[in-house]
């Protein structure tokens, strides 16, 4: 049950469009071309994994002249079968300089409801460092705490050498893996904020690749229309309705799982005003439909170490 709840709430980050800032993909391509002239380091020996990639038919739209607010918190209530199943909090950290570039920490927290935690406690956290110039992820740390189990994933994104490297820690044992993407790949939490920085318009379609913990997915988005949406945090707001589907195209997977892959579909509503607030998401699960609704939005005074982001 809780595995499905966690999948749904993290899908709030996976399913919404990850932004490629103006020049983001071109900068990535230029770095990759330059890096191709160099031999990869021995410690980054390439591993081969099966893929089933498809050509991108619709590129990302341009970025708006907007910036994320440090300290912003978005709290969502997750419901399944009409009952409270848990909550998700998305957070923006404090900008900092790392090796001459501005990075922004973004975080997502997943917690089960009081009732469900009695028999399956969940308290997960993911922190992503994003290069604010390109909005590409630099580093992601995912800490899974579910039903007494402890599992950590530490992932780095080398866009210059086109390499995603990951260390998984489970019961004190480390597993090192890497994957080679063909195009820019975004992460779950920075994807959740991406749509807020895009110049969305009804009728628009676009696609991008997203890394969802251990898998590469091709995300397809259709901005179908404007709709009125109510939440207790914002009241009535006019919102863009985004219909999305995600297909696993690679990652730490086998050929059989790719062959049997079926696209996952969902809907996201984002306010059409300048704030571009994620208001609501609906995602299917094996047990039925799950819904996440914004219940609170506020700005918190920041402690530089509040999100636990490491450099």
- 235-281 confidence digits (pLDDT tens): 999 999 999 999 999 999 999 989 888 888 999 999 999 999 999 99
Residue 50 resides in a domain: no
Q: Which two tokens stand for residue 290?
A: 């799950």
Domain that holds residue 291: 2-35+57-299
Residue 192 lies in a domain: yes
Residue 15 has pLDDT above 50, yes or no: no
pLDDT value at residue 165? 97
pLDDT at 29 over 70: no
| pTM assigned to the model | 0.82
Start-end of H helices in 187-291:
188-194, 255-259
pLDDT at 150 over 50: yes
Residue 19 within a domain: yes
Helix (H) or strand (E) holding 9: helix 2-15
CA separation (Å) from 157 to 141, 180, 266, 289?
A: 12, 10, 27, 33
> Is 307 domain-assigned?
no
Supply φ then ψ for residue 5, to 5 degrees.
Answer: -60, -45
Q: Is 130 exposed, middle or buried (CB count within 10 Å of its CB: 0-12, 13-18, 19+)? A: buried
Q: Would residue 159 count as lying in a domain?
A: yes
* Interatomic CA distance for residues 245 and 221, integer angstroms: 7
Phi, psi of 61 (to 5 degrees): -75, 170
The full DSSP string for 21-62 is -TTHHHHHHHHHHHHTTSPPPGGGPPPP--------SSPPPP
Question: Total domain count for the chain?
Answer: 1
Is there a domain that residue 8 lies in? Answer: yes
Render pLDDT for 186-233 as a digit per residue (tens, 0 to 9).
997 887 788 899 999 999 999 999 998 899 999 999 999 999 999 999
Other C-beta atoms lying within 10 Å of the C-beta of residue 176: 11
What tokens does 107 get? 């975080």
Tokens of 271: 């306010």
CA dist., res. 159 & res. 212, Å (int): 17
pLDDT, position 310:
43
Residue 284 lies in a domain: yes
Residue that wins the pLDDT comparison between 70 and 192: 70
Residue 288 lies in a domain: yes
Partners of residue 105 on adjacent β-strands: 129
81 has a pLDDT exceeding 80 = no
């Amino acid at each position: 049950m809780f595995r499905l709840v966690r999948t749904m709430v993290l899908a709030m980050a996976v399913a919404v469009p990850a932004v490629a800032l103006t020049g983001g993909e071109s900068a990535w391509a230029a770095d990759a071309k330059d890096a191709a002239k160099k031999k990869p380091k021995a410690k980054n020996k390439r591993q081969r994994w099966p893929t089933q990639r498809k050509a991108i038919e619709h590129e990302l739209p341009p970025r708006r002249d907007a910036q994320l607010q440090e300290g912003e918190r978005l709290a969502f209530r997750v419901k399944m079968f009409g009952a409270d199943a848990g909550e998700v909090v998305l957070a923006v950290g404090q900008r900092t300089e790392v090796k001459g570039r501005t990075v922004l920490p973004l975080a997502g927290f997943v917690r089960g409801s009081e009732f469900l935690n009695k028999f399956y406690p969940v308290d997960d956290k993911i922190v992503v460092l994003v290069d604010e110039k390109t909005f590409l992820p630099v580093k992601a740390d995912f800490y899974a705490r579910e039903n007494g189990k402890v599992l950590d994933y530490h992932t780095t994104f080398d866009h210059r050498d086109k390499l995603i490297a990951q260390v998984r820690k489970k019961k004190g044992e480390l597993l090192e893996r890497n994957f080679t993407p063909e195009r820019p790949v975004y992460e779950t939490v920075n994807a959740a904020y991406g749509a807020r920085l895009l110049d969305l318009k009804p009728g628009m379609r676009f696609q991008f690749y997203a890394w969802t913990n251990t898998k590469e997915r091709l995300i397809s988005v259709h901005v179908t229309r404007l709709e009125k949406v109510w939440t207790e945090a914002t009241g009535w707001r006019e919102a863009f309705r985004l219909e999305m589907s995600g297909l696993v195209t690679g990652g730490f997977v086998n050929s059989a799982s790719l062959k049997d892959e079926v696209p996952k579909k969902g809907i996201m509503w984002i306010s059409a005003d300048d704030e571009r607030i994620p208001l609501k998401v609906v995602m299917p699960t094996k047990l039925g439909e799950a819904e996440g609704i914004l219940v609170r939005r506020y700005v918190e005074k920041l402690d530089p170490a509040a999100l636990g982001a490491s450099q």
